[in-house]
Copies of this chain bind each other. A is one copy, B any other.
Amino acid sequence: MKIAFVIFNGLTTLDFVGIYDPLTRLKTMGFMPDLEWDICAHTEIVKDDRGLGLVPTAIQQPLRSYDILVMPGGFGTRALMRDQNFVDWIRTAEPCKLKVSVCTGALLLGAAGFLSNKRATTHRGAFQELKPFCRTVLEHRIVDEENIVTAGGVAAGIDAGLYLVERLAGAEARLKIAKQMDYPHPLRAGEVAP
């Protein structure tokens, strides 16, 4: 199984790293020894929204061969959702079996057409912007539409990561990874859209 973590100029790094940490622990803590991932970008270096530079491991490579696409958010999404080259690149992820967004990453999944007729969520400040791209915007922390999982703002990415850890490797893996991350906040009743 191989994950594409997408990064782009103007991302909010915590949107990405909050889900990257628990998912990659599936391998480093031995639950999925064959798990692989790339950090995928359309540029050689990525600058986040506050000056930090990130180095991708795969540049302008098509995304179709990955099993899971993970899309963070940040103010950079507003320019990129109208950047045809970038959106065409995200569209190469169409065959990925599971597409995940954190925060305003949902706008990029939406711009690529992946949310058509789906329920989805995003940062509460972007509910209106997300509406045109999906069937219904929900205020839940996580919306699971089987092949599309969208999460709320920034720190909700940690919850989405742990939620997917459980989906991929079971409840015990989730508990052990959350403990190793020192994250004592299980999802509360009603936080995942039923």
Binding site for B on A (CB under 8 A): 12-14, 17-18, 20-21, 24, 28, 37, 39, 45, 49-57, 103, 123-125, 141, 152-156, 158, 180-183, 185
**Given the complex, which residues of B lie within 8 Å of A103, measured CB to CB?**
182
* Number of copies of this kind of chain in the complex: 2
**Given the complex, which residues of B lie within 8 Å of A39, measured CB to CB?**
51-53
C-alpha spacing A50/B181, complex, angstroms: 15
Nearest residue, chain B, Cβ from A158 = B155
Indicate whether A182 sits within 8 Å of B154 (C-beta atoms), given known contacts A51-B39, A54-B52.
yes
**Given the complex, which residues of B lie within 8 Å of A181, measured CB to CB?**
14, 153-155
**Given the complex, which residues of B lie within 8 Å of A185, measured CB to CB?**
185
Q: B51 touching A54 by the CB < 8 A rule? A: no
**Given the complex, which residues of B lie within 8 Å of A20, measured CB to CB?**
13-14, 50, 52
**Which of A54, A153, A183 gathers the greatest number of chain B CB atoms within 10 Å?**
A183
Q: B51 touching A57 by the CB < 8 A rule? A: yes
C-alpha spacing A45/B124, complex, angstroms: 35
**Given the complex, which residues of B lie within 8 Å of A56, measured CB to CB?**
53
**Which of A21, A125, A152, A183 gathers the greatest number of chain B CB atoms within 10 Å?**
A21
**Given the complex, which residues of B lie within 8 Å of A124, measured CB to CB?**
182
Task: For the complex formed, measure the closest distance between the CB of A98 and the CB atoms of chain B, giving whole angstroms.
Answer: 20
C-alpha spacing A77/B5, complex, angstroms: 26
Q: Which of B21, B51, B53, B154 contacts A13 (CB 8 A)?
A: B21
Nearest residue, chain B, Cβ from A102 = B182
